[in-house]
Amino acid sequence: MDHSFSKWEAGKKLYEIALKAVEKDREERYSTVKEFYEAWKMALR
């Protein structure tokens, strides 16, 4: 899959959050869906 920013349409902050969510190293991802959701909501402000 192409995870490049050039294909992303939702802005830099949300891109960085999404990229962390699909990180290859599981330890680098969000621990829970709630943690991911909270980060997403904060970025939308």
- Of 42, 40, 32, which Cα lies nearest the Cα of 14? 40
Q: How many domains does the chain have?
A: 1
* Structural domain includes residue 38: yes
Of 12, 32, 11, 5, the C-alpha closest to 21 is 32
**Other C-beta atoms lying within 10 Å of the C-beta of residue 41:** 9
For range 19-28, the mean pLDDT: 95
Q: What's the rounded mean pLDDT across residues 9-33? A: 95
Is there a domain that residue 26 lies in?
yes
Q: pTM score, two decimals?
A: 0.84
Q: Are 39 and 29 in contact (CB under 8 A)?
A: no
Q: Please indicate, yes or no, if residue 40 is contained in any of the structural domains.
A: yes
Question: Which range marks the domain in which residue 15 is found?
Answer: 8-44
